[in-house]
Amino acid sequence: MADSFIKDPSALLEYTWDWGLWLADVDDSISTATVTVPDGLTAVGSAVVGDGIVTQRVSGGDVDGAYTLVCQITTAGGLIDERSIHLTISQR
């Protein structure tokens, strides 16, 4: 499951990964979450975890650049999964 968004290079925005339905299916919760932000973008602060949702603030990017943010979680039960968000940078 991948989501795609357009971001202005000077915008500071939050991106979220919703693990809620999947966690309910496996009857588990998020223990840790890591968001990998590629060179050219800046993670502002740490990833925030709450109610099965991981949120990361991101700034930067070069116009016409394409970037992939990756969120990896480990559950309390030891499961590991990851999902991606794709960003295209454009003047808005």
User: Domains along the chain?
Assistant: 2-89 (2.60.40.10)
- Laid out side by side, the sheet with 80-89 consists of 2-7, 80-89, 66-75, 30-36
Mean pLDDT over 15-34 rounds to 97
pLDDT for the residue numbered 2: 59
Q: Supply the pTM of this predicted model.
A: 0.93
pLDDT tens, residue by residue, 28-86: 999 999 999 999 999 999 999 999 999 999 999 999 999 999 999 999 999 999 999 99
